[in-house]
Chain A
C-alpha cells in the first residue's frame, strides 16, 4: 500500500514537473535532427534505425544519468524528506519507488527516440524493411542497466547526502564508460551504457556468459539496494 502511494507520488512528480516535458521535447527534437543528419551523411539502408540509435546512445546515457540523479536527489535538494518518510511504514519503499520510476522513465525515453526516428525515416523513405535489435533483449537490457545504475546512484546519494556529488558521480561514470567502451568487447559488452545493444549478442553467442552477466547485474543491483537501505534506515532525516 505504501509502496503504491510512493509510486503514485513519484509518477505524478514526473507528470507535473515541467523539466521532464522539456526533456521529452528535447529528445524528440534532437532525434529528428540526428535522424536527418545520419540519413544525409550515410547511405540509407535497412540498418538506419540502428545507426541513429548508435549516434543517440551517448547523449541518451547522459540524459538518463541526469534523470536518475534528479529523481533520487529531489527530496534531498528541497529538504522534503522529513515530510515523506513519516508517511511510510518502511523506508525501503522510498528508494525502491524512486529507482523503479527512474528506470521506467529511462526506458520510455528510449522508446520515444526509437519511435521518433522510425516516424521520420518512414515519412521520407518507403519500401525498406528496417532492421533493429531484438525488442525483448533491447527492453531487458535497458531495464537491467538502468536499474543497476539507479541502485548505484541511490547508494551514492545516501552516503553523500548531496545532489552535487550524485550528479558528479553519475555523469563521471557515464563518461568514463564511454571512454573505454570502444575497446575490448569482452569487457565493454558488459558495461551498463552498452548493455542495451549488447545483451542479445552476449546471450546468443554464449548462453552461460549471458546468464552470468545478467546474474551479476541482479546481484550487484540487489547488494547496492541493500547497502542503500542499511545506510538510509540509520540516517537522521528529521532535521
Chain B
C-alpha cells in the first residue's frame, strides 16, 4: 500500500510540474477565451453557451471532448509508454514493487489526472466566464435554472461525472498503450476515435453502452435523465472499468519489460 501511495504521489507531483500541463492550460484558456469572444460578436446561436458567468464553466465541459481525450492519451503515454521506452520502468520493478502495484499506480494516476484536468477546466471556466459575462443573476444548464452555491454544487457534481467518464477513457488508452510504442500515435488514435465514435452516438439502441456517449453526455444526463438511466450509465462505466482494468493488468503482466 505504501509503495502504491508513494508512486502515485510521485507521478502526481511530476504532472503538476510538467511542461505539458502548461500547454494544456494555455490551450484551454485560448479555447475558452475564443468561445467568449465568439459569443460576444456573433451571439448565442454560434456558441454552445447561454452567456451567464456562473454557468459558463459547466457548459464548456462538453465542447472540449477531443481536446481532453488527446490530453488524457498523451498523459497515459507519458506514464506508461515513456517509462517503457526509456527503460525507467525497470528501476521501479526491480525494487519491491510488484507489477500489480505498478499497474494500480498507473490507474490511480490517470484518475488523479482526469480530476486535475477537469478542475483546471472548471477554474478557467469561472475566470473567463466572469471576465466576459460577469457572474450573472442565474445559473442555466439545460433544464436546471438556479443560482449561487447551488450552481457551484451542480458544476462540481457535473465535473466529477465528466472526470469519471474521461478516467474510463484513459483506462482504454492505457490498455491500448501496451501495443503502441509512440505517444504521438496513441494521442492521434484516441483523438480520432472521439471524432469517429460520435457517429456511434447516432444509434439510440447502442449509444448508452458506448464510451463516447458518456464523454459527451454523462455530466448532462445526471440532471436531465431519470435515475434509472443514470444508474445504468454508471454501471456500464463500472463494467468498462473492471473489464479493461483487469484485462489490461493481465496484458501488462505478460509483457517483456526486461529488454
Residues of A within 8 A of B31 (CB): 176, 179
Residues of B within 8 A of A77 (CB): 85, 182
A62 adjacent to B195 (CB under 8 Å): yes
CA distance A107 to B184 in the complex (A): 20
Q: B211 contacts the other chain (Cβ, under 8 Å)?
A: no
Q: Which one, A80-88, A92-100, A109-117, A164-172, is touching chain B?
A: A164-172
* Contact residue among B35, B38, B74, B192 (Cβ-Cβ distance under 8 Å from A167): B74
Residues of B within 8 A of A184 (CB): 41-42
A59 adjacent to B27 (CB under 8 Å): no
**Smallest beta-carbon distance A72→chain B, Å:** 10
B66 adjacent to A165 (CB under 8 Å): no
Residues 61-78 of B at the A interface (beta carbon under 8 Å): 63, 66-67, 70-71, 74, 77-78
Residues of A within 8 A of B70 (CB): 168, 171-172, 175
B74 adjacent to A164 (CB under 8 Å): yes
B30 adjacent to A164 (CB under 8 Å): no
Known: A62-B195, A77-B85, A176-B34. A70 touches B184 (CB 8 A): yes
B34 adjacent to A168 (CB under 8 Å): no
**Smallest beta-carbon distance B41→chain A, Å:** 8
A171 adjacent to B188 (CB under 8 Å): yes
Write out, one digit per residue, whether chain A residues 55-81 have a CB within 8 A of any chain B CB (1) or not (0). Answer: 000110011011001100100010000
A180 adjacent to B191 (CB under 8 Å): no
* Contact residue among B30, B35, B46, B184 (Cβ-Cβ distance under 8 Å from A73): B184
The closest CB in chain B to the CB of A182 belongs to: B46
Known: A163-B183, A164-B20, A176-B30. A59 touches B195 (CB 8 A): yes
Known: A62-B191, A171-B70, A172-B70. A165 touches B23 (CB 8 A): yes
Q: B140 contacts the other chain (Cβ, under 8 Å)?
A: no
- Interface size, chain B (Cβ < 8 Å): 33
Residues 145-174 of A at the B interface (beta carbon under 8 Å): 160, 162-169, 171-172
Residues 132-168 of B at the A interface (beta carbon under 8 Å): none
A-B contact count (CB 8 A): 86
Write out, one digit per residue, whether chain B residues 51-95 have a CB within 8 A of any chain A CB (1) or not (0). Answer: 000000000000100110011001001100010010000000000
Residues 178-192 of B at the A interface (beta carbon under 8 Å): 182-185, 187-188, 191-192
The closest CB in chain A to the CB of B85 belongs to: A77
A183 adjacent to B27 (CB under 8 Å): no
Residues 190-245 of B at the A interface (beta carbon under 8 Å): 191-192, 195-196
CA distance A164 to B67 in the complex (A): 14
Q: B19 contacts the other chain (Cβ, under 8 Å)?
A: yes
CA distance A173 to B20 in the complex (A): 14
B67 adjacent to A175 (CB under 8 Å): yes
B19 adjacent to A66 (CB under 8 Å): no
Known: A19-B185, A180-B34. A168 touches B85 (CB 8 A): no
Residues of A within 8 A of B30 (CB): 176
A165 adjacent to B20 (CB under 8 Å): yes
Residues of B within 8 A of A172 (CB): 23-24, 27, 67, 70
A163 adjacent to B184 (CB under 8 Å): yes
The closest CB in chain A to the CB of B66 belongs to: A175
**Smallest beta-carbon distance A51→chain B, Å:** 16
**Smallest beta-carbon distance A134→chain B, Å:** 28
A69 adjacent to B46 (CB under 8 Å): no
CA distance A160 to B187 in the complex (A): 18
Write out, one digit per residue, whether chain B residues 9-43 have a CB within 8 A of any chain A CB (1) or not (0). Answer: 00000000001100110010011001100100110
List chain A positions with a Cβ less than 8 A from chain B. Answer: 19, 30, 58-59, 62-63, 65-66, 69-70, 73, 77, 160, 162-169, 171-172, 175-176, 179-180, 182-184
| 17 pairs, CB–CB < 8 Å, chain A vs chain B | A58-B195, A69-B184, A70-B185, A160-B19, A163-B182, A163-B184, A165-B23, A167-B184, A168-B20, A168-B23, A168-B27, A168-B70, A171-B66, A176-B27, A179-B34, A183-B41, A183-B42
List chain B positions with a Cβ less than 8 A from chain A. Answer: 19-20, 23-24, 27, 30-31, 34-35, 38, 41-42, 46, 63, 66-67, 70-71, 74, 77-78, 82, 85, 182-185, 187-188, 191-192, 195-196
